[in-house]
Amino acid sequence: MGATLVWLRRDLRLGDQPALAAAAERGEPVIPVFIHAPEEEAPWEPGAASNWWLHHSLERLGASLENRGSCLIRRRGASLDTLRALIRETGADTVFWNRLYEPAVIRRDTAIKKALRTEGLTATSFNAALLHEPWRIATGTGGPYKVFSPFWKTCRAQGIDFAPAITPERLAAPERWPHSESLASLGLLPRTRWDQGLRETWTPGEDGALARLEGFIDATVQDYGKTRERPDQDGTSRLSPHLHFGEISPRQIVRALQEAGLGLEAGGAEHFVRELGWREFGHHLLYHFPHTTDAPLNPRFEHFPWRESPEDLHAWQRGQTGIPIVDAAMRELWQTGWMHNRSRMIVASLLTKNLRMHWLHGARWFWDTLVDADLASNTLGWQWAGGSGADAAPYFRIFNPVRQGERFDPDGTYVRTYVPELADLPADAIHSPWEKRRHAPTPPDKYPAPRVDLKQSREAALEAFQTLP
């Protein structure tokens, strides 16, 4: 009797897990395998926050597999060499995995599938991460979309498959399990414990994902269209890291909304499903335009006169720009490994337009500090903010962070949470503490003055944009 290796990557769940379900249906031993090979994802190897999440997600997945009579085998090294070694050790004749869509990973997986098939093995991949895979959505002329609205209209016209893969209750075990390296040996946790805020904020793993989805449906989704723009409120799902690591699938989410009796064509549920569509759009663009991880989609921006200022970049990274809503957002990121989407747009606008620094500086910082760092979403968001990507913000759309703060954090709750130096300022002064107001206390000396004049830097950015060919 042969065996099936199920090569796990960012599909760390048992529910709606196509590769695992297909392996269980064969009736032969199933050997779940995780191979730690971050260098194969270069130049975008996972960052520190991602590794923190991965450690805990693997820990919980291992426990879940043990409850089903199985075991998670952990190895490190080159993926193809490791798979070949496991095939020799176990007598496996089949390897299943779920697809990923980053350029480097596609190249690796394509080569591995070809090599295994050449050696006489069955090697099959499945879709576990998307509602619509990138090559299945095309314009009327057969090309990729560059604008979201028609892209999503086409996705909706194709429909959504609500039927998840069957979750196996038990997995057939081999007579003898191959050696597994310890989770600690993968070196995913930080050597210095900066992760207290992450531990207080998140519960990685499939159970954590399902609990967060349930709470979102019960308490938040009905008002999502109204509250999703407010960083001062708990109005979003915070499912993005769970989606990135495959602890839950978008199909499971849409099905849960449907089973809760929420209409997907209107109201909060429609707004939320549309956000899933934006995630799909990011993968669509990354697949068709793989160079955009490091280069602008719009080639005109190859000639943009970006500034270089290590001091300004450091101040932005540490939440010391002197712009309260920006500093609150950057400190939220540092403390929790996450940032509200409205805040992401505000801080990106300040970096790329007021400070006029290359969007890659921001993309790389987010990549290292976000627990939901996803190459497709990160690339889409930063190219949008910088004006160089698909469906991008026009060059003249430069957020005024003071107005943004007053609109989306009107009472100053968000700023007070993450910038406690300003906690005593009244709401009408907290977003612009440098402005003199007779009734407001003087801002504390330990809070910095703005590093940039918002009006002058806006004008300078517009002048710079006008120089593009």
Sketch the domain layout of the chain as residue ranges: 4-128, 129-162+207-288, 299-466
Rounded CA separation 469/466 (Å): 8
3-state secondary structure of 96: strand
Cα 299 to Cα 139, 295, 372, 382, 390, distances in angstroms: 22, 8, 28, 15, 12
Question: One of 177, 278, 334, 434 is an active-site residue; which one?
Answer: 278
Cα 360 to Cα 105, 271, 313, 347, 468, distances in angstroms: 20, 29, 12, 13, 19
Written as six digits, the tokens of 310 are 């290590």
Q: Are 6 and 23 a contacting pair, CB within 8 Å?
A: yes
- Our answer to whether residue 202 is catalytic in this structure is no
Q: Are strands 122-126 and 94-98 parallel, antiparallel or unpaired?
A: parallel
Q: Are 16 and 128 a contacting pair, CB within 8 Å?
A: yes
pTM here is 0.96
Question: One of 359, 365, 367, 384 is an active-site residue; which one?
Answer: 359
pLDDT band at 345 (very low <50, low <70, confident <90, very high): very high
Q: Given a cut of 90, is residue 264 above it in pLDDT?
A: no
pLDDT in tens, 97-144: 999 999 999 999 999 999 999 999 999 999 999 999 999 999 999 999
**Averaged over 149-174, what is the pLDDT?**
90
Question: One of 316, 338, 382, 384 is an active-site residue; which one?
Answer: 382
Rounded CA separation 435/453 (Å): 12
Rounded CA separation 409/307 (Å): 30
Rounded CA separation 251/16 (Å): 8
4-128 in CATH: which number? 3.40.50.620
Rounded CA separation 381/392 (Å): 9
**Averaged over 186-214, what is the pLDDT?**
95
More confident residue, 167 or 314: 314
299-466 sits in which CATH class? Answer: mainly alpha
- The region that residue 187 occupies, defined by phi over 0 for left and psi between -120 and 50 for alpha, beta otherwise, is left
Written as six digits, the tokens of 44 are 């975008």
* Average pLDDT of every residue of the chain: 95
Q: Given a cut of 80, is residue 393 above it in pLDDT?
A: no
Written as six digits, the tokens of 98 are 């779920």
Q: Given a cut of 80, is residue 391 above it in pLDDT?
A: no
Q: Given a cut of 90, is residue 161 above it in pLDDT?
A: no
CA angle (455 as vertex; 451, 456 as ends), nearest 5: 75
Question: One of 41, 275, 406, 421 is an active-site residue; which one?
Answer: 275
**Residue in this structure with the two tokens 């075991």, named with its chain if needed:** 71
Lowest-pLDDT range of 162-171, 270-279, 322-331, 367-376: 162-171
Question: One of 306, 334, 406, 434 is an active-site residue; which one?
Answer: 306
Which of 349, 305, 250, 319 has its CA nearest to residue 464? 305
More confident residue, 393 or 412: 412
Cα 121 to Cα 2, 9, 83, 351, distances in angstroms: 11, 20, 11, 50
* Start-to-end CA span in the chain (Å): 65
CATH for 129-162+207-288, options being 1.10.150.530, 3.30.365.10, 1.25.40.80, 3.30.300.30: 1.25.40.80
Q: Are strands 94-98 and 73-76 parallel, antiparallel or unpaired?
A: unpaired
**Averaged over 443-455, what is the pLDDT?**
90
Rounded CA separation 331/381 (Å): 19
Long-range contacts of 183-187 (CB under 8 A, 24+ apart): 183/55, 183/58, 183/59, 183/62, 183/74, 185/76, 186/36, 186/55, 186/58, 186/74, 186/76
- Our answer to whether residue 341 is catalytic in this structure is yes
- Our answer to whether residue 152 is catalytic in this structure is no
Task: Report DSSP letters for 240-282, one per residue.
Answer: HHHHHTTSS-HHHHHHHHHHTT--TTSHHHHHHHHHHHHHHHH
Question: What pLDDT does 469 receive?
Answer: 84
Sheet of 73-76: strands edge to edge? Answer: 73-76, 30-36, 4-8, 94-98, 122-126
Question: What pLDDT does 193 receive?
Answer: 81
- Our answer to whether residue 338 is catalytic in this structure is no
| Phi, psi dihedral angles at 243 (to 5 degrees) | -65, -45
Q: Are 16 and 252 a contacting pair, CB within 8 Å?
A: yes
Q: Is the peptide bond before 443 cis (omega within 30 degrees of 0)?
A: no
3-state secondary structure of 147: coil
Question: What pLDDT does 108 receive?
Answer: 98
Q: Are 446 and 319 a contacting pair, CB within 8 Å?
A: no
| Phi, psi dihedral angles at 123 (to 5 degrees) | -130, 115
Question: What pLDDT does 438 receive?
Answer: 65
Rounded CA separation 40/105 (Å): 7
Written as six digits, the tokens of 422 are 């300003």
More confident residue, 220 or 391: 220
In this structure, which amino acid lies at residue 426? P
Q: Are 422 and 436 a contacting pair, CB within 8 Å?
A: no
What's the maximum distance between 2 C-alpha atoms anywhere in the chain?
83
Q: Given a cut of 70, is residue 182 above it in pLDDT?
A: yes
